[in-house]
């Protein structure tokens, strides 16, 4: 072993065996420790680490069935599950040694050994131990990174009946491995729910990979999701695993699945059904094991009826379906959410803001929130940044529909009915007569808007 690394522990009741091992190994490895009795193993492993443990199978003349070796192997792996243990055994014990490998031993060395073969086996075992340690570090780092990325998504705030129902379904489905389809408008919190499902699933210690299908072009779809081999196309400078491979054993979140063209839907369906992907430029498929969560703001059922979305793919992705209501349909959550975001952004921007005034809350409640929770979040953040007071007031909130109306509805009267009529006319013109959008901008129901239009003969 050229770099002279590796810490070896040899345990055997035969002093001659230990002497021979030390003599052979000391010039090839960093440290050699020998024990003529296994009783000191636990104490030694609690103080030091070893890359490889060479362990005799029998330590007393009465016991020649290898039971002692099996028992000590079990104890060693309880102390260090990643330990690399090589059994030292006579020819007659080889069958037991093979059984021991099924119990967790890495390999075995036959007595009498060939020096070159023993060195090769121990060297390979040192590399295995180092790779296990590195893999463990990568897994820990991966969990830390995933946890850090997941921090902004930890809380789904709401106390309305609609949200209680969503959270109830989320909790039930998280405990299974079923595919989930999350439906809802932009800004309602679809990824929040997807991450909550992963965080409470059996795969919580594995990766959560999020893919925005709306941002991936058709030409890059296979490369991004299934990966590619080096030289598969002009810019393929090196091989690259796709998102399915990276997410294997974990959760794959496909956002905006409704944006996929029919040919790409077919390729996705094949990967889901076969549980394997083939990299671009490769011939051999790779098996993958992912928990699939999809989301969209499109009406997939309408798309299916119009032959714009494959019905078999829809059945595959929606074993369980979760519908997240828009904010305008759960207005009782607005104040709760507003105060939640106020707490976050007051801390972020080091502002001392005691709360939101009742008149400001009333203004927020009467707004239609076309951008849903995301728009409310941005509105609170902007208000926190801009205010010089310790309370957020109505004037701190410039909402989207109001911003669009600035300069449009010029009021030259103090008659409230005239003002209301003028604003309704301007908003209807702005929305080209679309009653639904106009009622949202005005913070009214369609029925209320129709009533006012009839009142003012609009």
DSSP string computed for 73-140: HHHHHHH-TT--EEEEEEGGGHHHHHHHHHTT--EEEEESPPHHHHHHHHHHHHHHHHHHHHHHHHHH
Look up tokens 């492993």; give the residue. 45
Element (H, E) at 53: strand 52-56
Strands 286-287 and 276-277: antiparallel
- CATH topology (fold) of 328-398: Helicase, Ruva Protein; domain 3 (1.10.8)
What is residue 176's DSSP assignment? S
Percent of the chain at pLDDT exceeding 70: 88
Distance set, CA 207 to CA 226, 247, 402 (Å): 17, 6, 42
Q: What H or E segment, with its residue span, contains residue 252?
A: strand 251-255
356-364 mean pLDDT:
94
Mean pLDDT of 37-62: 87
Does the pLDDT of residue 110 top 90, yes or no?
Answer: no
Tokens of 217: 């072009």
pLDDT in tens, 317-352: 999 999 999 999 999 999 999 999 999 999 999 999
Tell me the C-alpha to C-alpha distance, in Å, between residue 180 and each of 169, 233, 301. 11, 34, 15
pLDDT for residue 101: 72
Residue 136: pLDDT band by 50, 70, 90 thresholds? confident
Q: Name residue 54's beta-bridge partners.
A: 10, 86
pLDDT class of 156 with cuts at 50, 70, 90: confident
Is residue 377 within 8 Å of residue 341, measured between CB atoms?
A: yes
Residue 85 predicted with pLDDT over 90: yes
Tell how far CA 409 is from the center of its chain.
Answer: 47
Closest CA to 288 of 346, 209, 187: 209
Distance CA 17, CA 132 (A): 28
Handedness of CA 381, 387, 391, 397 (dihedral sign): negative
* Residue 404, pLDDT score: 41
232 token code pair = 């598969």
Which of the pair, 296 or 65, is modelled with greater confidence?
Answer: 296
Backbone phi and psi for residue 414, each to the nearest 5 degrees, phi listed first: -105, 5
Please give the mean pLDDT across all residues of the chain. 87
pLDDT tens for 11-31 read 998 999 999 999 999 999 999
The phi, psi pair for 40, rounded to 5°, reads -90, 0
CA distances from 320 to 191, 212, 267 (A): 16, 21, 22
For 212, the enclosing helix (H) or strand (E) is strand 208-212
Query: DSSP assignment, residue 324?
Result: P
Task: Write the CB contacts of 80 (distance below 8 Å, at least 6 apart in sequence).
Answer: 45, 49
Peptide bond into 112 cis (omega under 30): yes
Structural contact between residues 96 and 126, judged by C-beta atoms closer than 8 angstroms: no
Q: What's the pLDDT at 403?
A: 41
Distance CA 343, CA 347 (A): 6
Superfamily of domain covering 7-134: Response regulator (3.40.50.2300)
Q: What is the dihedral of CA 39, 40, 45, 49, to 10 degrees?
A: -120
Which one is the CATH code of 164-325: 3.40.50.300, 3.90.780.10, 3.40.50.450, 3.40.50.12780? 3.40.50.300
* Residue 253, CA atoms < 13 Å, CB-side half-sphere: 19
The 10 Å CB-count burial string (b at 16+, else e) for 120-133 is ebbbbbbbbbeeee
What is the 8-class DSSP label of residue 299?
-
Measure the CA–CA gap between 295 and 310, rounded to whole angstroms: 15
Fold match flag (7-134 vs 328-398): no
Q: Report pLDDT for 361.
A: 95
Which two three-digit tokens encode residue 239? 């091989």
More confident residue, 41 or 404: 41
pLDDT single digits (tens) 160-187: 999 999 999 999 999 999 999 999 999 9
User: Would you state the pLDDT for residue 447?
Assistant: 80
Quickly state the pLDDT bin for 65 (edges 50, 70, 90).
Answer: low
> CA 423 to CA 410: how far, in whole Å?
9
Contact present, 289 and 122 (Cβ < 8 Å) = no
Q: Write down the CATH number for the domain with range 408-455.
A: 1.10.10.60
Domain extent listing, the chain = 7-134, 164-325, 328-398, 408-455
Distance from C-alpha of 296 to C-alpha of 180, rounded to nearest angstrom: 11
Closest CA to 362 of 331, 404, 403, 383: 331
Q: What are phi and psi of 34, to 5 degrees?
A: -120, 145
């Amino acid at each position: 072993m050229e770099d002279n690394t590796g810490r070896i522990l040899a345990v055997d009741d035969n002093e001659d065996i230990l002497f021979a091992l030390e003599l052979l190994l000391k010039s090839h490895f960093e440290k050699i420790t020998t024990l003529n009795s296994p009783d000191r193993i636990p104490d030694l492993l609690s103080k030091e680490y070893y890359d490889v443990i060479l362990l005799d199978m029998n330590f007393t003349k009465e016991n020649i069935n290898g039971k002692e070796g099996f028992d000590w192997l079990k104890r060693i792996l309880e102390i260090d599950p990643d330990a690399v243990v090589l059994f030292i055994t006579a020819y007659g014990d080889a069958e037991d040694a093979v059984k021991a490998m099924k119990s967790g031993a890495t390999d075995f060395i036959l007595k009498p050994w060939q020096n070159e073969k023993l060195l090769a086996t121990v060297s390979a075992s040192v590399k295995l131990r180092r790779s296990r340690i590195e893999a463990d570090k990568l897994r820990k780092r991966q969990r830390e990174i995933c946890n850090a990325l997941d921090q902004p998504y930890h809380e789904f705030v709401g106390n309305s009946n609609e949200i209680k129902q969503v959270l109830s379904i989320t909790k039930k489905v998280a405990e299974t491995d079923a595919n989930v389809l999350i439906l809802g408008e932009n800004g309602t919190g679809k990824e929040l729910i997807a991450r909550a499902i992963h965080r409470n699933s059996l795969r919580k210690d594995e990766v959560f990979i999020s893919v925005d299908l709306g941002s991936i072009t058709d030409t890059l779809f296979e490369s991004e999701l299934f990966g590619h081999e080096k030289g598969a196309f002009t810019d393929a400078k090196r091989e690259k695993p796709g998102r399915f491979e990276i997410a294997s054993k974990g959760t794959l979140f496909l956002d905006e699945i409704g944006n996929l063209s029919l040919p790409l839907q077919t390729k996705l369906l094949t990967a889901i059904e076969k549980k394997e992907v083939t990299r671009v430029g490769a011939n051999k498929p790779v098996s993958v094991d992912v928990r699939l969560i999809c989301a969209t703001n499109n009406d997939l059922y309408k798309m299916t009826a119009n032959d714009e979305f494959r019905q078999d793919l829809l059945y595959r992705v929606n074993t369980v379906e979760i519908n997240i209501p828009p904010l305008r349909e759960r207005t009782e959550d607005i104040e709760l959410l507003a105060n939640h975001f106020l707490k976050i952004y007051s801390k972020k921007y080091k502002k001392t803001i005691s709360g939101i005034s009742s008149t400001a809350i009333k203004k927020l409640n009467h707004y239609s929130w076309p951008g849903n929770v995301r728009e409310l979040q941005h509105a609170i953040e902007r208000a926190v940044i801009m205010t010089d007071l310790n309370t957020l007031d109505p004037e701190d909130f410039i909402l989207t529909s109001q911003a669009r109306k600035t300069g449009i509805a010029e009021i030259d009267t103090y008659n409230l009915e005239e003002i209301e009529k003028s604003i309704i006319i301007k908003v209807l013109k702005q929305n080209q007569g679309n009653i639904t959008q106009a009622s949202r901008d005005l913070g009214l129901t369609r029925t209320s808007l129709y009533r006012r239009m009839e009142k003012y003969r609009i």
